[in-house]
Chains A and B, each alone.
Chain A
């Protein structure tokens, strides 16, 4: 057993730091998203509260706290209450395995800049992602309303379908990193980021995570025109705020995970001498990836639901199986021949494999548009 109380203190402080970082990150991510969306759409965005509108998230929070909480008369009360919590908790606990840096020396004590370096980190991420569906499903069911129910069902089907591609797109990372621990995976990328070796895998991971966190263009569960607000139609006040918070915190942790798996995590120039640069590099990478998410939301229209499903099952799943095969073959060839150049067969073959569905879909869409004209 661990009897060293300072270790407990260290864990406690690190967990607290993560939670506050995610809470603050959530608040300012909403601001960031609204400003960035406004820029892209040539609007101004929130700019009244405080300098540059920087106090806007605080005003929003105060508003949400003081809103009246309603719960539908025929709702299943306990589950209705449980669902927002079940949605929020997974988005926080994924952060436990994300490494922010190596270790720093504080008052003569080595402190690792991660909460837990467990040897099944990748699997931990997958299992939490699998659990995260429950909150949304139960919210849809417990509200006892048609719109919420349909939203919940849609999101279940969508998350199950895209989870497969998500899991398969992580296998190349495990193969290349030769480990399931997130810290090991980051350290393996000191020569070259995995996104250069397996670009298609990174792309599939990106698409699948967009679907997992129900972001545009995969925000079918809350398509306003069809389902009012989907699974959280019946929620108000702080319960709604929890769903809102969960979505944005998931965006942050997903971007952090993406940075760890494909973009070298906390690695960057000078991180060997100054380990404190690790969190800074992580922050920059998360910030840029978040921008990409907002950018996607601003530019892509929502998918049609049947197309979303067939895209997930008929395009992403076979493609991710193909890249698993390609990666394994490339690593085996490099091992057997002892020639590291074989590693470059992985990106080449993957990109070719990735181009096949792109070209096919493009041609099919062209044919469709000719038929319509």
Chain B
């Protein structure tokens, strides 16, 4: 298991570094690229956990489709270099207070509730066969039908909203 651990640590390092790079980089395109790297690293995490389907879906959807659209918008609007954003006066103190609270809570829970995690259950072979994909589909369309449909309606609403916002009205300039 030491190899897995080494891989995990290396990947975690890359993930954190790329997330930091995304936040700190001045250029929006570089930020987007760091985020892509982060998504790909997460996909490799899934591979490490023995879930190739989710890994590939992660790359296709996030690294592929969504981030390409992000890059597209950044390039189209030409906002490569971020302007100095206006800082709201109360924003920083509030952010500091909230993050300290979060850190304190996390530490408290970690100290009081943490148990040795033990061995993570290794998924058995059937998980990654077509049978499992079929099970996933069955679950989506039976037990989780309502959330699934709600999500698709949400996406549809967003799409219709975007079209209405950008559509020119007849005669209006």
Contacts and interface: CB of A to CB of B under 8 A. Distances in A.
A153 interface: yes
Contact of B133 (A118, A149, A180): A180
Interface string A120-133: 10011011011101
A128 to B, nearest CB: 8
A154 to B, nearest CB: 11
Q: What DSSP secondary structure best describes chain B's contact surface?
A: helix
Given A123-B57, A127-B56, A149-B75, A160 B68 contact: yes
A84 to B, nearest CB: 16
A133 B68 contact: yes
B72 interface: yes
B64 A131 contact: yes
Given A127-B59, A153-B75, A134 B68 contact: yes
A141 interface: yes
B130 A131 contact: no
B52 A118 contact: yes
B11 to A, nearest CB: 17
A1 interface: yes
Contact of A153 (B56, B63, B64, B72): B72
Interface string A287-316: 000000000000000000000000000000
A157 interface: yes
B35 interface: no
Contacts of A319: none
Interface string A177-207: 0111000000000000000000000000000
Contacts of B36: 134
B65 A130 contact: yes
A126 B57 CA distance: 9
A157 B76 CA distance: 11
B75 A120 contact: no
A33 interface: no
Interface string B9-43: 00000000000000000000100010010000000
Interface in A135-164: 137-138, 140-141, 149, 152-153, 156-157, 159-160, 163
Contact of B3 (A1, A120, A156, A160): A1
Interface residues of A, number: 30
B60 interface: yes
Contact of B68 (A120, A130, A180): A130
Contacts, number: 73
A120 B3 CA distance: 24
| B64, B65, B80, B130 — most chain A CB neighbours (10 Å) | B64
A119 interface: yes
B144 interface: no
B63 A131 contact: yes
B130 A141 contact: no
B72 A120 contact: no
Contacts of A137: 68, 71-72, 75
A336 to B, nearest CB: 17
Contacts of B72: 137, 153, 156-157, 160
A79 B27 CA distance: 12
Given A120-B52, A180-B130, A130 B59 contact: yes
B128 interface: yes
B52 A126 contact: no
Contacts of B71: 134, 137, 141, 156
Interface of B: 3, 29, 33, 36, 52-53, 56-57, 59-60, 63-65, 68-69, 71-72, 75-76, 80, 128-130, 133
Given A130-B68, A156-B71, 4 more contacts: A127-B60, A130-B65, A131-B59, A137-B72
Interface of A: 1, 76, 79, 118-120, 123-124, 126-127, 129-131, 133-134, 137-138, 140-141, 149, 152-153, 156-157, 159-160, 163, 178-180
